[in-house]
Structure 1
Amino acid sequence: MLWWYFVEEGTLDENIHLENLRNEFLDECNDRIENISKKLENIAENSGKFTNQIITIRRDVHSIKGMGGSFGYPVITAIAHRLEDFLIDRDAMDTHDVKNSYIFLDCIKLQLKRDTQASLGESADIVRSLPSKFILDDIVKSKRIVEALSIMPKSLQQRLINQEIRECGFRISNISSSIMAIDMAVHTRPDLIVISALIDEIDGTELAHIFRSISHTKILPIILVTSFEDIKLSDKALPSGVSIARKGKDFPDDLAKCLIELDVL
Protein backbone atom coordinates (compact mmCIF):
# COMPACT_ATOMS: atom_id res chain seq x y z
CA MET A 1 0.00 0.00 0.00
CA LEU A 2 1.43 3.37 -1.00
CA TRP A 3 1.11 6.62 0.88
CA TRP A 4 -0.82 8.31 -1.92
CA TYR A 5 -3.53 5.68 -1.45
CA PHE A 6 -4.83 7.63 1.52
CA VAL A 7 -5.84 10.66 -0.56
CA GLU A 8 -9.62 11.05 -0.52
CA GLU A 9 -11.49 11.38 -3.77
CA GLY A 10 -12.57 14.91 -4.53
CA THR A 11 -9.61 16.62 -2.82
CA LEU A 12 -9.26 20.11 -4.29
CA ASP A 13 -5.50 20.23 -4.16
CA GLU A 14 -4.10 16.71 -4.05
CA ASN A 15 -0.51 17.89 -4.28
CA ILE A 16 -0.83 19.88 -1.06
CA HIS A 17 -2.60 16.99 0.63
CA LEU A 18 0.07 14.54 -0.48
CA GLU A 19 2.83 16.84 0.72
CA ASN A 20 1.13 17.18 4.10
CA LEU A 21 0.91 13.40 4.40
CA ARG A 22 4.56 13.05 3.48
CA ASN A 23 5.59 15.66 6.06
CA GLU A 24 3.54 13.89 8.73
CA PHE A 25 5.29 10.64 7.86
CA LEU A 26 8.73 12.27 8.02
CA ASP A 27 7.95 13.90 11.38
CA GLU A 28 6.56 10.68 12.85
CA CYS A 29 9.49 8.63 11.58
CA ASN A 30 12.06 11.09 12.92
CA ASP A 31 10.29 11.14 16.29
CA ARG A 32 10.46 7.34 16.44
CA ILE A 33 14.15 7.39 15.54
CA GLU A 34 14.85 9.96 18.26
CA ASN A 35 12.98 7.82 20.78
CA ILE A 36 14.95 4.72 19.77
CA SER A 37 18.21 6.68 20.05
CA LYS A 38 17.37 7.74 23.61
CA LYS A 39 16.59 4.16 24.60
CA LEU A 40 19.86 2.95 23.06
CA GLU A 41 21.69 5.64 25.00
CA ASN A 42 20.03 4.41 28.19
CA ILE A 43 21.10 0.84 27.41
CA ALA A 44 24.68 1.97 26.77
CA GLU A 45 24.70 3.78 30.12
CA ASN A 46 22.92 0.93 31.95
CA SER A 47 20.13 3.34 32.82
CA GLY A 48 16.73 1.76 33.37
CA LYS A 49 15.57 -1.83 32.94
CA PHE A 50 16.84 -3.44 29.74
CA THR A 51 13.61 -5.36 29.11
CA ASN A 52 11.54 -2.17 29.13
CA GLN A 53 14.00 -0.36 26.88
CA ILE A 54 14.20 -3.12 24.26
CA ILE A 55 10.41 -3.57 24.15
CA THR A 56 9.98 0.14 23.39
CA ILE A 57 12.71 0.01 20.74
CA ARG A 58 11.14 -2.99 19.01
CA ARG A 59 7.74 -1.31 19.03
CA ASP A 60 9.11 1.84 17.41
CA VAL A 61 11.12 -0.13 14.84
CA HIS A 62 8.01 -2.11 13.93
CA SER A 63 6.07 1.14 13.48
CA ILE A 64 8.77 2.54 11.18
CA LYS A 65 8.69 -0.67 9.15
CA GLY A 66 4.94 -0.38 8.69
CA MET A 67 5.02 3.32 7.86
CA GLY A 68 7.75 2.80 5.28
CA GLY A 69 5.57 0.38 3.36
CA SER A 70 2.43 2.49 3.68
CA PHE A 71 4.08 5.72 2.56
CA GLY A 72 6.05 4.38 -0.38
CA TYR A 73 9.50 3.94 1.20
CA PRO A 74 10.19 0.22 0.66
CA VAL A 75 13.90 0.59 1.39
CA ILE A 76 13.06 1.98 4.85
CA THR A 77 10.80 -1.01 5.42
CA ALA A 78 13.68 -3.32 4.44
CA ILE A 79 16.15 -1.54 6.75
CA ALA A 80 13.70 -1.59 9.67
CA HIS A 81 13.00 -5.27 9.04
CA ARG A 82 16.72 -5.99 9.27
CA LEU A 83 16.90 -4.01 12.49
CA GLU A 84 14.06 -6.15 13.87
CA ASP A 85 16.07 -9.26 13.00
CA PHE A 86 19.14 -7.71 14.62
CA LEU A 87 17.25 -7.06 17.88
CA ILE A 88 15.24 -10.27 18.11
CA ASP A 89 15.67 -12.54 21.17
CA ARG A 90 18.22 -10.27 22.82
CA ASP A 91 18.45 -10.33 26.60
CA ALA A 92 21.39 -7.89 26.62
CA MET A 93 23.29 -5.51 24.34
CA ASP A 94 26.92 -4.50 24.62
CA THR A 95 28.54 -1.30 23.33
CA HIS A 96 29.20 -2.90 19.94
CA ASP A 97 25.54 -3.90 19.57
CA VAL A 98 24.37 -0.39 20.43
CA LYS A 99 26.83 1.13 17.96
CA ASN A 100 25.60 -1.20 15.21
CA SER A 101 21.98 -0.31 16.00
CA TYR A 102 22.78 3.34 15.31
CA ILE A 103 24.01 2.32 11.84
CA PHE A 104 20.49 1.16 10.98
CA LEU A 105 19.02 4.42 12.23
CA ASP A 106 21.53 6.48 10.27
CA CYS A 107 20.61 4.58 7.10
CA ILE A 108 16.92 5.28 7.66
CA LYS A 109 17.58 8.98 8.29
CA LEU A 110 19.64 9.17 5.11
CA GLN A 111 16.75 7.73 3.10
CA LEU A 112 14.33 10.21 4.67
CA LYS A 113 16.49 13.10 3.45
CA ARG A 114 16.63 11.91 -0.15
CA ASP A 115 14.66 13.72 -2.84
CA THR A 116 14.31 10.53 -4.88
CA GLN A 117 13.76 6.92 -3.88
CA ALA A 118 16.63 4.45 -3.93
CA SER A 119 16.66 2.21 -6.99
CA LEU A 120 16.21 -1.54 -6.59
CA GLY A 121 19.95 -2.04 -7.02
CA GLU A 122 20.74 0.62 -4.42
CA SER A 123 18.21 -0.88 -2.01
CA ALA A 124 19.88 -4.29 -2.23
CA ASP A 125 23.33 -2.77 -1.65
CA ILE A 126 22.08 -0.76 1.33
CA VAL A 127 20.52 -3.79 2.99
CA ARG A 128 23.60 -5.95 2.40
CA SER A 129 25.81 -3.31 4.03
CA LEU A 130 23.90 -3.43 7.33
CA PRO A 131 25.28 -5.17 10.44
CA SER A 132 24.16 -8.70 11.22
CA LYS A 133 23.45 -10.36 14.54
CA PHE A 134 25.06 -13.57 13.30
CA ILE A 135 28.28 -13.51 11.28
CA LEU A 136 30.24 -16.74 11.14
CA ASP A 137 34.03 -16.62 11.29
CA ASP A 138 34.47 -18.18 7.84
CA ILE A 139 32.23 -15.51 6.31
CA VAL A 140 34.25 -12.75 7.95
CA LYS A 141 37.51 -14.25 6.69
CA SER A 142 36.22 -14.60 3.14
CA LYS A 143 34.63 -11.12 3.26
CA ARG A 144 31.72 -12.56 1.31
CA ILE A 145 28.27 -12.35 2.82
CA VAL A 146 25.53 -14.33 1.14
CA GLU A 147 21.93 -13.41 1.85
CA ALA A 148 19.01 -15.78 2.36
CA LEU A 149 15.37 -14.74 2.63
CA SER A 150 13.49 -17.21 4.83
CA ILE A 151 9.72 -17.22 4.27
CA MET A 152 7.88 -19.38 6.77
CA PRO A 153 5.53 -19.10 9.77
CA LYS A 154 7.14 -18.23 13.09
CA SER A 155 7.74 -21.40 15.06
CA LEU A 156 10.41 -23.47 16.77
CA GLN A 157 10.81 -25.40 13.54
CA GLN A 158 11.49 -22.14 11.69
CA ARG A 159 14.31 -21.34 14.12
CA LEU A 160 15.86 -24.78 13.71
CA ILE A 161 15.67 -24.60 9.92
CA ASN A 162 17.12 -21.09 9.87
CA GLN A 163 19.96 -22.20 12.11
CA GLU A 164 20.88 -24.92 9.62
CA ILE A 165 20.80 -22.39 6.78
CA ARG A 166 22.89 -19.95 8.81
CA GLU A 167 25.50 -22.62 9.49
CA CYS A 168 25.89 -23.00 5.73
CA GLY A 169 27.21 -19.44 5.66
CA PHE A 170 24.09 -17.38 5.00
CA ARG A 171 22.88 -14.21 6.66
CA ILE A 172 19.14 -14.68 7.09
CA SER A 173 16.25 -12.28 6.94
CA ASN A 174 13.04 -13.78 8.32
CA ILE A 175 9.54 -12.97 7.14
CA SER A 176 6.26 -14.78 7.78
CA SER A 177 3.96 -13.03 5.28
CA SER A 178 3.99 -14.16 1.64
CA ILE A 179 2.79 -10.75 0.41
CA MET A 180 5.48 -8.87 2.33
CA ALA A 181 8.04 -11.43 1.19
CA ILE A 182 7.45 -10.54 -2.46
CA ASP A 183 8.24 -6.88 -1.85
CA MET A 184 11.22 -7.77 0.33
CA ALA A 185 12.71 -10.09 -2.29
CA VAL A 186 12.35 -7.47 -5.03
CA HIS A 187 14.10 -4.79 -2.99
CA THR A 188 16.83 -6.86 -1.32
CA ARG A 189 17.77 -9.34 -4.10
CA PRO A 190 18.81 -12.23 -1.80
CA ASP A 191 21.21 -14.91 -3.00
CA LEU A 192 18.73 -17.57 -1.93
CA ILE A 193 15.02 -17.76 -1.11
CA VAL A 194 13.83 -20.47 1.28
CA ILE A 195 10.06 -21.00 1.32
CA SER A 196 7.90 -23.14 3.55
CA ALA A 197 5.35 -25.20 1.62
CA LEU A 198 2.68 -23.89 3.98
CA ILE A 199 2.77 -20.16 4.75
CA ASP A 200 -0.58 -18.35 4.66
CA GLU A 201 -3.19 -17.71 1.96
CA ILE A 202 -0.48 -18.24 -0.67
CA ASP A 203 1.29 -21.58 -0.35
CA GLY A 204 4.96 -22.16 -1.08
CA THR A 205 4.46 -23.59 -4.56
CA GLU A 206 2.29 -20.65 -5.61
CA LEU A 207 4.80 -18.20 -4.17
CA ALA A 208 7.63 -19.87 -6.09
CA HIS A 209 5.65 -19.40 -9.31
CA ILE A 210 5.06 -15.74 -8.43
CA PHE A 211 8.78 -15.18 -7.94
CA ARG A 212 9.45 -16.79 -11.31
CA SER A 213 6.98 -14.40 -12.96
CA ILE A 214 8.67 -11.24 -11.62
CA SER A 215 11.61 -9.96 -13.64
CA HIS A 216 13.67 -8.97 -10.59
CA THR A 217 13.32 -12.38 -8.89
CA LYS A 218 12.87 -14.85 -11.75
CA ILE A 219 16.46 -16.12 -11.66
CA LEU A 220 16.89 -16.28 -7.88
CA PRO A 221 17.49 -19.82 -6.57
CA ILE A 222 14.64 -21.14 -4.42
CA ILE A 223 14.40 -23.98 -1.92
CA LEU A 224 10.95 -25.23 -0.96
CA VAL A 225 10.91 -26.73 2.54
CA THR A 226 8.22 -29.33 3.03
CA SER A 227 7.31 -32.69 4.54
CA PHE A 228 5.30 -35.58 3.21
CA GLU A 229 2.51 -34.58 5.58
CA ASP A 230 2.40 -30.97 4.33
CA ILE A 231 1.68 -31.38 0.67
CA LYS A 232 2.24 -33.86 -2.14
CA LEU A 233 4.64 -32.27 -4.58
CA SER A 234 5.81 -33.36 -7.97
CA ASP A 235 8.60 -31.88 -10.04
CA LYS A 236 5.99 -30.76 -12.57
CA ALA A 237 4.30 -28.59 -9.92
CA LEU A 238 7.42 -26.50 -9.42
CA PRO A 239 8.97 -23.91 -11.72
CA SER A 240 12.59 -24.22 -12.82
CA GLY A 241 15.34 -23.37 -10.37
CA VAL A 242 13.40 -24.65 -7.36
CA SER A 243 14.69 -27.52 -5.22
CA ILE A 244 12.92 -29.41 -2.43
CA ALA A 245 14.30 -29.97 1.07
CA ARG A 246 12.36 -32.26 3.39
CA LYS A 247 11.83 -31.37 7.02
CA GLY A 248 13.11 -33.71 9.69
CA LYS A 249 16.35 -35.46 10.55
CA ASP A 250 17.53 -35.52 6.93
CA PHE A 251 17.02 -31.78 6.40
CA PRO A 252 20.74 -30.85 6.73
CA ASP A 253 21.64 -33.37 4.01
CA ASP A 254 18.74 -32.25 1.81
CA LEU A 255 19.76 -28.62 2.28
CA ALA A 256 23.35 -29.36 1.27
CA LYS A 257 22.15 -31.20 -1.85
CA CYS A 258 19.88 -28.29 -2.78
CA LEU A 259 22.68 -25.75 -2.40
CA ILE A 260 24.94 -27.84 -4.62
CA GLU A 261 22.15 -28.41 -7.14
CA LEU A 262 21.33 -24.69 -7.30
CA ASP A 263 25.03 -23.75 -7.34
CA VAL A 264 24.48 -21.14 -4.63
CA LEU A 265 27.75 -21.48 -2.71
Structure 2
Amino acid sequence: MEFDLESALLRLKQDFIESSLEKLDDIDEIIDNLYNERGNHGDQFFQLQRDVHSIKGSAGTHGMHLLTLVAHRLEDFLEAAQNLNKDQWRSVQIYIDEMRVLVDLGKDPNESEHAAILHRLPHAQQDHTEFSEQKSKKVTVLVVMPPGVQRKLIGKELASCGFDLSFTDRPVEAIRLIMDLQPDAVLSNQEFRHITGSELANVLQDIKLTKKTPFAILTSSNIDKNTIPADTHVIKKGGSFVADLTEYLVDVGLFGRL
Protein backbone atom coordinates (compact mmCIF):
# COMPACT_ATOMS: atom_id res chain seq x y z
CA MET A 1 0.00 0.00 0.00
CA GLU A 2 1.37 3.40 -1.01
CA PHE A 3 1.86 5.80 1.88
CA ASP A 4 -0.09 9.04 1.43
CA LEU A 5 2.12 11.66 3.08
CA GLU A 6 -0.26 14.55 2.40
CA SER A 7 -3.19 12.77 4.06
CA ALA A 8 -1.03 11.84 7.04
CA LEU A 9 0.05 15.46 7.50
CA LEU A 10 -3.55 16.63 7.27
CA ARG A 11 -4.57 14.12 9.95
CA LEU A 12 -1.74 15.31 12.21
CA LYS A 13 -2.81 18.90 11.71
CA GLN A 14 -6.43 18.07 12.50
CA ASP A 15 -5.29 16.25 15.66
CA PHE A 16 -3.32 19.34 16.66
CA ILE A 17 -6.34 21.60 16.05
CA GLU A 18 -8.64 19.40 18.12
CA SER A 19 -6.18 19.01 21.00
CA SER A 20 -5.44 22.76 20.97
CA LEU A 21 -9.14 23.62 21.17
CA GLU A 22 -9.44 21.27 24.15
CA LYS A 23 -6.46 22.96 25.82
CA LEU A 24 -7.96 26.40 25.18
CA ASP A 25 -11.26 25.27 26.71
CA ASP A 26 -9.34 24.09 29.77
CA ILE A 27 -7.51 27.43 29.92
CA ASP A 28 -10.85 29.27 29.80
CA GLU A 29 -11.89 27.35 32.92
CA ILE A 30 -8.56 28.07 34.63
CA ILE A 31 -8.87 31.80 33.91
CA ASP A 32 -12.38 31.82 35.35
CA ASN A 33 -11.14 30.01 38.47
CA LEU A 34 -8.15 32.29 38.99
CA TYR A 35 -10.18 35.42 38.26
CA ASN A 36 -12.66 34.36 40.95
CA GLU A 37 -9.94 33.02 43.27
CA ARG A 38 -11.11 29.40 43.17
CA GLY A 39 -8.86 26.39 43.55
CA ASN A 40 -5.09 26.09 43.88
CA HIS A 41 -3.52 29.12 42.21
CA GLY A 42 -0.06 27.65 41.70
CA ASP A 43 -1.17 24.36 40.15
CA GLN A 44 -3.68 25.99 37.81
CA PHE A 45 -1.29 28.74 36.73
CA PHE A 46 1.39 26.14 35.96
CA GLN A 47 -1.10 24.14 33.86
CA LEU A 48 -2.06 27.29 31.95
CA GLN A 49 1.60 28.02 31.19
CA ARG A 50 2.22 24.41 30.13
CA ASP A 51 -0.77 24.34 27.75
CA VAL A 52 0.17 27.68 26.16
CA HIS A 53 3.76 26.50 25.69
CA SER A 54 2.56 23.22 24.17
CA ILE A 55 0.44 25.05 21.58
CA LYS A 56 3.29 27.45 20.86
CA GLY A 57 5.74 24.59 20.33
CA SER A 58 3.60 22.69 17.81
CA ALA A 59 1.84 25.45 15.85
CA GLY A 60 4.78 26.27 13.59
CA THR A 61 5.04 22.63 12.51
CA HIS A 62 1.58 22.97 10.97
CA GLY A 63 2.24 26.29 9.22
CA MET A 64 0.51 28.42 11.86
CA HIS A 65 3.27 30.92 12.55
CA LEU A 66 1.03 33.67 13.91
CA LEU A 67 -0.43 31.27 16.47
CA THR A 68 3.12 30.58 17.66
CA LEU A 69 3.75 34.32 17.89
CA VAL A 70 0.55 35.08 19.82
CA ALA A 71 1.34 32.26 22.27
CA HIS A 72 4.84 33.70 22.67
CA ARG A 73 3.37 37.14 23.34
CA LEU A 74 1.08 35.64 25.98
CA GLU A 75 4.13 34.13 27.67
CA ASP A 76 5.72 37.60 27.52
CA PHE A 77 2.60 39.07 29.14
CA LEU A 78 2.61 36.52 31.96
CA GLU A 79 6.31 37.11 32.65
CA ALA A 80 5.97 40.91 32.67
CA ALA A 81 2.76 41.00 34.73
CA GLN A 82 3.80 38.50 37.45
CA ASN A 83 0.98 38.83 40.06
CA LEU A 84 -2.02 39.37 37.81
CA ASN A 85 -4.94 41.55 38.87
CA LYS A 86 -8.49 41.19 37.52
CA ASP A 87 -7.92 43.60 34.62
CA GLN A 88 -4.86 41.63 33.59
CA TRP A 89 -6.76 38.33 33.72
CA ARG A 90 -9.29 39.88 31.33
CA SER A 91 -6.34 40.72 29.08
CA VAL A 92 -5.14 37.11 29.25
CA GLN A 93 -8.60 36.09 28.02
CA ILE A 94 -8.12 38.33 24.97
CA TYR A 95 -4.99 36.36 24.07
CA ILE A 96 -6.81 33.06 24.46
CA ASP A 97 -9.71 34.27 22.30
CA GLU A 98 -7.29 35.33 19.55
CA MET A 99 -5.52 31.97 19.77
CA ARG A 100 -8.85 30.15 19.41
CA VAL A 101 -9.69 32.15 16.27
CA LEU A 102 -6.32 31.20 14.76
CA VAL A 103 -6.68 27.53 15.70
CA ASP A 104 -10.14 27.45 14.11
CA LEU A 105 -8.74 29.14 10.99
CA GLY A 106 -6.08 26.46 10.68
CA LYS A 107 -3.64 28.71 8.82
CA ASP A 108 -2.06 32.14 9.00
CA PRO A 109 -4.43 35.01 8.13
CA ASN A 110 -3.67 37.59 5.47
CA GLU A 111 -1.13 40.34 6.15
CA SER A 112 -3.61 43.03 7.21
CA GLU A 113 -5.40 40.72 9.68
CA HIS A 114 -2.00 39.52 10.94
CA ALA A 115 -1.11 43.11 11.84
CA ALA A 116 -4.56 43.78 13.32
CA ILE A 117 -4.34 40.77 15.65
CA LEU A 118 -0.92 41.80 16.96
CA HIS A 119 -2.20 45.34 17.47
CA ARG A 120 -5.15 44.09 19.53
CA LEU A 121 -2.98 42.19 21.98
CA PRO A 122 -2.74 44.06 25.31
CA HIS A 123 0.47 44.45 27.27
CA ALA A 124 0.94 43.86 30.96
CA GLN A 125 0.99 47.45 32.22
CA GLN A 126 -1.57 48.83 29.78
CA ASP A 127 -4.09 51.18 31.38
CA HIS A 128 -7.65 50.57 30.24
CA THR A 129 -11.16 50.24 31.54
CA GLU A 130 -14.24 48.46 30.31
CA PHE A 131 -15.88 51.83 29.64
CA SER A 132 -13.17 53.47 27.57
CA GLU A 133 -11.42 52.49 24.37
CA GLN A 134 -8.66 55.01 24.99
CA LYS A 135 -5.28 53.27 25.30
CA SER A 136 -1.74 54.49 25.64
CA LYS A 137 0.52 53.81 22.67
CA LYS A 138 2.22 50.42 22.75
CA VAL A 139 5.99 50.85 22.93
CA THR A 140 7.67 47.46 22.63
CA VAL A 141 11.09 46.50 23.99
CA LEU A 142 12.56 43.09 23.18
CA VAL A 143 14.81 41.70 25.92
CA VAL A 144 17.26 39.04 24.69
CA MET A 145 18.58 37.47 27.87
CA PRO A 146 18.65 34.11 29.66
CA PRO A 147 15.94 33.61 32.30
CA GLY A 148 17.03 34.51 35.79
CA VAL A 149 17.19 37.21 38.43
CA GLN A 150 18.66 39.85 36.14
CA ARG A 151 16.01 39.37 33.46
CA LYS A 152 13.29 39.57 36.12
CA LEU A 153 14.73 42.81 37.50
CA ILE A 154 15.04 44.40 34.06
CA GLY A 155 11.56 43.20 33.10
CA LYS A 156 10.06 44.58 36.30
CA GLU A 157 11.79 47.94 35.81
CA LEU A 158 10.67 48.30 32.19
CA ALA A 159 7.14 47.06 32.84
CA SER A 160 6.73 49.60 35.65
CA CYS A 161 7.51 52.31 33.09
CA GLY A 162 4.64 51.12 30.88
CA PHE A 163 6.62 49.37 28.15
CA ASP A 164 5.27 46.34 26.31
CA LEU A 165 7.88 43.61 26.76
CA SER A 166 8.88 40.57 24.78
CA PHE A 167 11.47 38.06 25.98
CA THR A 168 13.67 35.42 24.43
CA ASP A 169 16.86 33.68 25.50
CA ARG A 170 17.82 32.71 21.94
CA PRO A 171 19.49 35.27 19.63
CA VAL A 172 18.37 33.37 16.52
CA GLU A 173 14.74 33.53 17.67
CA ALA A 174 15.29 37.23 18.41
CA ILE A 175 15.92 37.87 14.72
CA ARG A 176 12.51 36.45 13.80
CA LEU A 177 10.80 38.29 16.67
CA ILE A 178 12.34 41.61 15.63
CA MET A 179 11.09 41.11 12.09
CA ASP A 180 7.61 40.10 13.30
CA LEU A 181 7.12 42.60 16.13
CA GLN A 182 9.27 45.48 14.86
CA PRO A 183 10.05 46.55 18.45
CA ASP A 184 10.98 50.11 19.34
CA ALA A 185 14.24 48.91 20.92
CA VAL A 186 16.22 45.73 21.58
CA LEU A 187 18.24 45.05 24.73
CA SER A 188 20.55 42.07 24.36
CA ASN A 189 22.90 40.26 26.67
CA GLN A 190 26.41 39.94 25.23
CA GLU A 191 27.18 36.46 26.48
CA PHE A 192 25.40 33.54 24.79
CA ARG A 193 26.57 30.05 23.97
CA HIS A 194 26.44 30.10 20.16
CA ILE A 195 26.15 33.75 19.12
CA THR A 196 27.12 36.90 21.03
CA GLY A 197 25.16 40.10 21.36
CA SER A 198 27.79 41.77 19.16
CA GLU A 199 27.24 39.18 16.43
CA LEU A 200 23.47 39.62 16.71
CA ALA A 201 23.89 43.38 16.30
CA ASN A 202 25.90 42.83 13.11
CA VAL A 203 23.36 40.37 11.70
CA LEU A 204 20.51 42.84 12.28
CA GLN A 205 22.56 45.59 10.63
CA ASP A 206 22.63 43.53 7.41
CA ILE A 207 18.83 43.08 7.29
CA LYS A 208 16.94 46.00 5.74
CA LEU A 209 13.90 45.59 8.02
CA THR A 210 15.94 45.57 11.25
CA LYS A 211 19.00 47.73 10.62
CA LYS A 212 17.41 50.89 12.07
CA THR A 213 16.03 49.23 15.22
CA PRO A 214 17.76 50.76 18.29
CA PHE A 215 20.01 48.07 19.76
CA ALA A 216 21.88 48.02 23.06
CA ILE A 217 24.23 45.36 24.41
CA LEU A 218 24.15 44.67 28.14
CA THR A 219 27.48 43.38 29.45
CA SER A 220 30.01 43.45 32.26
CA SER A 221 32.86 42.95 29.75
CA ASN A 222 34.69 45.41 27.54
CA ILE A 223 33.58 45.42 23.90
CA ASP A 224 35.71 46.68 21.04
CA LYS A 225 33.55 49.34 19.38
CA ASN A 226 35.14 48.45 16.04
CA THR A 227 33.44 45.04 16.14
CA ILE A 228 29.86 46.37 16.37
CA PRO A 229 27.74 48.73 14.25
CA ALA A 230 28.40 52.41 14.95
CA ASP A 231 24.92 53.08 16.36
CA THR A 232 24.92 50.06 18.71
CA HIS A 233 24.99 51.19 22.33
CA VAL A 234 26.85 49.36 25.11
CA ILE A 235 25.45 49.49 28.65
CA LYS A 236 27.80 48.19 31.32
CA LYS A 237 26.35 46.08 34.12
CA GLY A 238 27.25 47.60 37.46
CA GLY A 239 26.21 50.12 40.06
CA SER A 240 24.86 52.65 37.55
CA PHE A 241 23.23 50.07 35.27
CA VAL A 242 19.59 51.09 35.85
CA ALA A 243 20.41 54.79 35.48
CA ASP A 244 22.41 54.14 32.29
CA LEU A 245 19.62 51.97 30.86
CA THR A 246 17.03 54.65 31.62
CA GLU A 247 19.24 57.31 30.03
CA TYR A 248 19.58 55.18 26.89
CA LEU A 249 15.82 54.69 26.58
CA VAL A 250 15.35 58.44 26.98
CA ASP A 251 18.02 59.14 24.35
CA VAL A 252 16.32 56.93 21.76
CA GLY A 253 13.00 58.63 22.51
CA LEU A 254 11.03 55.73 23.96
CA PHE A 255 9.56 57.57 26.93
CA GLY A 256 8.23 60.24 24.59
CA ARG A 257 6.21 57.62 22.71
CA LEU A 258 4.27 56.27 25.70
TM-score between the two structures when normalised by the length of structure 2: 0.83
| 2:126 counterpart of 1:135 | yes
Which residue in the other structure is 2:96 paired with?
105
Distance 2:85 2:193 in 1: 37
CA RMSD of aligned residues (A): 2.8
Residue in structure 2 matching 1:234, options 224, 239, 242: 224
Identity rate, percent: 27
Aligned-partner residue type, residue 105 of structure 1: I
Q: Which residue of 1 aligns with 2:188?
A: 195
Instruction: After superposition, give the CA deviation of every residue in 1:138-182 in whole Å (9 maximum; x if it has no partner).
Output: xx9872120001000112122222334335542111211222222
Q: C-alpha offsets along residues 89-128 of structure 1, whole Å, 9 cap, x if unaligned?
A: 8786554333222111111112223365245665454334
Which residue in the other structure is 1:58 paired with?
49
- Provide structure 1 residue ranges, at least 5 long, that are not aligned to the other structure: 1-10
Aligned residue pairs total: 250
Q: Deviations over 1:182-223 (max 9, x none)?
A: 222222111111111113321111111222233332221111
8 Å contact from structure 2 (residues 144, 189) kept in 1? yes
- Aligned residue runs from structure 1 range 26-105, under 5 A: 26-88=17-79, 93-105=84-96
Amino acid at match of 2:206: S
Distance change in 2, residues 1:85/1:154 (3 Å): same
Mapped pair 1:179 → 2:166: no
The reply on whether 1:217 has 2:210 as its aligned counterpart is yes
- CA–CA distance in structure 2, aligned partners of residues 43 and 29 of structure 1: 21
Paired amino acid for 1:20? R
Give the one of 9, 12, 18 matched to 1:18: 9
Inter-CA distance 64–178: structure 2 relative to 1 (3 Å threshold): same
User: In structure 1, what is the equivalent of residue 152 of structure 2?
Assistant: 159
1:149 is paired with a residue whose SS is strand
Shift of 1:13: 3.1
Aligned to 1:248: 238
Q: Measured at CA, do residues 117 and 57 of structure 1 come closer, stay the same or move farther in structure 2, by a change above 3 Å?
A: same
**1:87 Cα deviation from its structure 2 partner:** 2.8
> Partner amino acid for 1:247?
K
AA matched with 1:234: D
Work out whether residues 147 and 169 of structure 2, in 8 Å CA contact, stay in contact via their aligned partners in 1: yes
Query: CA, structure 1 residues 141+17, in 2 after alignment: closer, same or farther (shift >3 Å)?
Result: closer
CA drift of 1:82 comes to 2.1
Distance 1:120 1:238 in 2: 33
Are 1:259 and 2:252 an aligned pair? Answer: no
CA distance in 1, matches of 2:151, 2:127: 20
TM-score (norm: length of structure 1): 0.81
Instruction: Provide Cα deviations, 1:9-50, integer angstroms capped at 9, x if missing partner.
Output: xx7433322222221221121111111112222223433211
Kept in 2, the 8 Å contact 1:123–1:188? The answer is no
* Whole-Å separation in 2 of the counterparts to 1:263 and 1:92: 29
Residues 186 and 256 (structure 1), Cα distance of their counterparts in 2 relative to 1, 3 Å cut: same
CA gap 1:13/1:241 in 2 versus in 1, 3 angstroms: farther
Rounded Cα–Cα distance in structure 1 between residues aligned with 2:218 and 2:127 = 23
Cα distance change on mapping 1:30 and 1:53 into 2, 3 Å: same
Taking the aligned partners of 2:228 and 2:110, their CA distance within structure 1 comes to 30
Q: Using a 3 Å threshold, how does the CA distance of structure 1 residues 98 and 257 change in structure 2: closer, same or farther?
A: closer
